[in-house]
Chains A and B, each alone.
Chain A
Amino acid sequence: MTTSQDFDRLSAYLDNQLSPAEKAGLEARLEHEPELRVALDDLRMAVRALRSLPTVKPPRNFTLSPDRARAIIRPRGVFPALRLATALAAFAFVIAVVGDFATNLAQPRLASAPEVPVTVVAQMSAAPTETLAPPAAAQEAITVTREVLTDNAGSGSTTASANATADSGTPPISAFAPPLPTVAAGGGAGGEAPLPAQPTPTPSATEAAGKRAAQMVTATPETEIVAPFAANGAPTPAAPARSEAQTPGALNLPPLRYIEAGLALLTLLLAIAAWLLRRR
C-alpha cells in the first residue's frame, strides 16, 4: 500500500529533489512494487497536466502612471487619524456608560439610607437652602410621602417632628417637616421621628413646588391627607423638598444621557467613515 510518505518521496522524485541515497532506494522499490509504479505514473500525469496549462496573456499593462505613483507614496494620514478618533470616542462612550451605571447603582443606596432623627432635621431646616423641585420630583415626593405615612401610621413618632419644627420657630421648617394627619390622630407620643436627611427648601421655592404638588395630588385619593400639610400654616408640604433628597442625581442624569447618546453617535459616524475610507 502506498503511504503518504511514499507520495512525498514520489513527488520529490519527480522534481529531482531526493538525495542520491533516497533516490536509489526508491528506484529499487519501484522495480519490485507495481503499485508504487502506478502511483508514480498517476502523479506524473497530474504534474504534466498542470504544466500543460497555457500561459495567460495579461489583459492590460500594470505599469503605474506618475499620478498613481504619487498617490501611492503620499502618506495616508486620514485613516489612522479617523481610527484613533473612533477609538477615543468609543473609550469616552464606555467611560460615560460606566459612570452612568455607577450613578444608578449608588442611587438606590441613597434612597434607602437610614433616616436621621428629627432633631437633625430641625437643625438642617434652620438653614435656608436652594432647591427648586421639578414637577416630576414633586410627584415622586407625593409617593414618598405616602410611604412615610404608611410606615409611620400607628407609631406616632412624627409628632416629635412637629414639635421640633415648631420649636425652631421658622415657618419654612414646618413646611419641611409638617405634622402628619395620621400622627395627630394617633396621639403625640414622644421620641425621635425617623425622617430622612434632606436639604431645606427656601420658602418661595418650596411654595411653588408645593403648589404643583398639591395640584397633582388633588387627582388622587390621598388629597385629604396631603392637603392639611399645606394648610397647616406652612406654605408647602414636605414632599417637594424631600423629593430633592430622594433623587440627588436626578438633575445630572439627563445631561449624562445626552453625552452618552452623542458619544455613541460620534463613534458610529467615525467608524463608518473609517470603514469607508479603508474600503477605498
Chain B
Amino acid sequence: MPARLLTALRLRRPADLPLRFKGLSIIALPLLVLVVSVALSVRVTDQENAYQASTRTALSTSTDVGQTLVSLLNAETGVRGYVATGDPSFLQPWQWAQAKLGLQLRSLASSPAVTAAQRRALARPAATEMALLRSLMRAPRGAGTLVSLRLRRLLVKGKAVMDQLRRTVSVVQEGVQRFLSQRREKVRGLRSTALAIAVAGLSVGLIGVLILYLFMSRIVQRVEAARVNAHRLGIGESLIEVPVSGDEIGRLSAELTHASGLLASRGADLVRAHRAALSTAREKDRFLSELAHEMRTPLTAIAGFGQLLDASDALTSEDAESATLIVRAANHLITLTDEIDASAEGEETLALNREPTRVIDVGEEVCALMGSIAAEKHVSLRLEVDPVVMVWADPQRLSQVLINLVSNAVKYNRVGGEVRIGARPGVTDRVRVFVSDTGIGIRAEVQPRVFAPHDRLDAEAGPVPGTGIGLALSRTYVEAMGGSIGLDSTEGQGPTFWVELPGSEAVVAV
C-alpha cells in the first residue's frame, strides 16, 4: 500500500493528487512551523532560566567576595589594634571575623563562578592568614609600647599574605563581573532569537492560513461547479466547462460530463423513437380508417341482405332466426367500424366550444340517451347531481365522455345492477363528475392501461361489443378541456370512473 501510494504520488501532477493529500500537506506546513517555533521558544526559556540562575549565583558570589574582604580587613585591624594597645576590645572584630571567615571562604570556594585555581589560591592564603592571626594573639608584647622583633616579622608577613589574599579576591571579583556581563549578553541574544522565531512562526502560520483559505475556496468553487452541472444534467441542459483534474472532484465532474453525454445520446434516441412511434401511430390510424372504410361496403351488403331476409315472410322459423343472427352480427361489426372511425377522428385536433356548463343538464341528456340500453339490461340509472354544480367544458364533448362512461358502466354491470352519476367539488376549484357501477370491478394491475387505446380488459371476461377505444377517446376529450380522467376501483367492487374539470361560476339566467 505505501509503495503503491508513493508511485501514485510520483506519477501525478499536483492537480491530480487526491484531496486528502493536498489538504493534509496544506495543513501540515503551518502546523510544522508552529511546532518548531514552540519547541524553540521552550528551549530559549530554558536557557534563559539557566542563565538567570547562574547570574544569581555570580551575584551572590560577588557579595560573598565583598563580605570576605570586609571580614579579613576587620580581623586584621582588630588584631593589630590589640597588639599595639593591648586593649581587649579590639579583639571583638577578630572574633566576629573568625566566626564568619571560614564559612565565607568555603562559600566562595564552592561558587561555580570561581575557577579551580582561584579556589586553591583562596584556600591557601586564607588558612595562612588565620594561622598568622592566631600567632599574633599569642605573641609576647610589651606593656603597650615595646614591639618585639618577632612580632614585627609576623606583622610584615601577615601584611604580605593579606595583600595576596586581597589580590586573589579582586581577581575573583573581576572574573565574576566578566561572567555576569557575558551572561547578560547571552540572555539578550536569546531573547532576540526567541522574538525572531515567534515572528517567523506567526508569519508562516498566517501565510499557511491564507493558502488554506485559498485552497478551501477553490474546492468550494469546484464543488459548486459540480453541483451546478448536476442540476443542469437534471434539467437536461448542456454542462458548463470545468478544468480537467484527476482528484476526487475532477473525477466527479468527469462522471457528470460522461453522464451528460450518455443522456444526450439517449435523449436523441428517445426523440427518434418517439418520432418513429408517432409516425407509426399515424400510419396505423390511416390504415384503420382505410380498413373501416373498406369494410363498410361489404358490411352494407351483409346488413342490407340480412335485413331483407329478416323481413321476409317466406322463411322457416329456423331460417328466420338465422337471418336475425346475421343482422345482429352485422350490427356488431357496424359498431366496431364506427368506433374505429371515432378513434381515427380522435387523433385529429379537437375543436372545442367551452362554456359554463351545468353538470345536471348533461347528466339528464345522458340518462335520456342511455335509458333504453340500461333498461334492456335491467340496470337502473341514478343521477345525483346538485343543480348548482357548473363546469367549464364543451357540453357536447362532456356528454360524449359521460355517454361512454355510462355505456361501459351498463355494459360491464351485472343484470339488475345500478349506475350512479354524481358530482362534487374536487381540489382547487375543480369539479369531479363520477360514474360508478355495481359491476365486477377492474383488476389493479390493468388499471393503468384502462385509458390506453385498443386495450380490451375483458378479453377473457366474455364478449361485450366495443373496441376498447372509448376510454382513450374520452381521455383525449377531457384533457383537451383542461381536465383529467381517472378510476378508483377495488376488484370485486364496481369501479368509479371520474372526470375532473375546471369549475365555473354559475351564470345567472336572465
Tell me whether A and B are bound partners: no
Query: CB within 8 Å of B: which residues of A?
Result: none
Query: CB within 8 Å of A: which residues of B?
Result: none
